[in-house]
Amino acid sequence: MVLYIIGLGLHDEKDVTVRGLELIKSSTKVFLEAYTSVLSIGKDRLESFYGRTDIVIADRDFVECHAEDIYLPAKEGNVAFLIVGDPVCATTHSDIMIRAREEGVTVEVVHNASAMGAVGCCGLQLYNFGQTVSIPYFDENWRPTSFYPKIKYNRLGGMHTLCLLDIKVKEPDFEAMKRGRTVFLPPRFMSVNESSEQLIEAEEVRKGGAYLPDKTLCVGLARLGQPDQCIKAGTLEELKDADFGSPLHCMVICGEVHDMELEALRPYLVENSKFVIDVEGSLFDREES
């Protein structure tokens, strides 16, 4: 009896590995985590491809408050816990692995593609990345900038920063709850535009020079691993107005950029960007050249 934590990749039902598919088909129970990320397709498509009709959606409340319902059944039969992307890229999944092993449950991980690897498709080298940060939605009462020191640390070391952008799925409507009703807000997926605006605000508040909104090279990415993925490079001021289309989005704040990286980024510069990258991979400021 095993808890199989299986990565599904970045796009649709066909991104699962052959081993992952075999384990899903043979497991007694199957759970689909729908908290840390989402696929571009619905549960019905997955069930049709897997030959099942019993996939259980594990939303935020389920994962945070009832995780034992996922791993304890693995004491009596094989359980497949499906994760969008790769299973080891979120602390939520690491916590479940630890708790399962503490209960004597055998855990096996089946890896797959994730944004943390696929971001290299823009041409930035993965070994030049530092700490990854998450950018949460700001609201009227909570505008956290805990990501800011990590970005500054990375850039002082010449490293790029991958920014994973907030998603809100099945979030409770607290105003409705005050009236005794259980209502969930519509899903929200942070865009590169929104994150750019928040990063600009964070610099204005912190004033630490971690990055310059009108000078630092950044890269916005949308729908990584999908046929219509979108990549655009420019300053934060430029990216906040660029069209990236539908979710999911992420972005990179560049550190020191190698000539080869610049050459790879050249096709992705936004139209009329202040940056110019020549064929030899040299970066110029259009306004200063």
Torsion angle of alpha carbons 126, 128, 134, 138, nearest 10°? -130
**Distance in angstroms (rounded) separating the CA atoms of residues 257 and 269:** 14
Give the model's confidence band at 124: pLDDT under 50 very low, under 70 low, under 90 confident, else very high: very high
Q: Return the number of other C-beta atoms located less than 10 Å from residue 147's C-beta.
A: 22
For residue 151, the model assigns a pLDDT of: 98
Give the model's confidence band at 285: pLDDT under 50 very low, under 70 low, under 90 confident, else very high: confident
Give the model's confidence band at 37: pLDDT under 50 very low, under 70 low, under 90 confident, else very high: confident
- Residue 91 carries which side chain, given as an amino acid letter? T
For residue 90, the model assigns a pLDDT of: 85
Give the model's confidence band at 174: pLDDT under 50 very low, under 70 low, under 90 confident, else very high: low
Left if phi > 0, otherwise alpha if psi is -120 to 50, otherwise beta: which for 207?
left
Long-range contacts of range 64-72, CB-CB < 8 Å, 24 or more positions apart? 64/35, 64/92, 67/95, 67/96, 67/99, 68/99, 68/103, 70/3, 70/31, 70/96, 71/3, 71/96, 71/99, 71/100, 71/103, 71/105, 71/107, 72/103, 72/105
Give the model's confidence band at 38: pLDDT under 50 very low, under 70 low, under 90 confident, else very high: confident
Among 49-53, 170-174, 225-229, where is mean pLDDT lowest?
170-174
Averaged pLDDT for residues 54-68: 90
What's the pTM value of the predicted model, to 2 decimals? 0.91
For residue 289, the model assigns a pLDDT of: 53
For residue 288, the model assigns a pLDDT of: 63
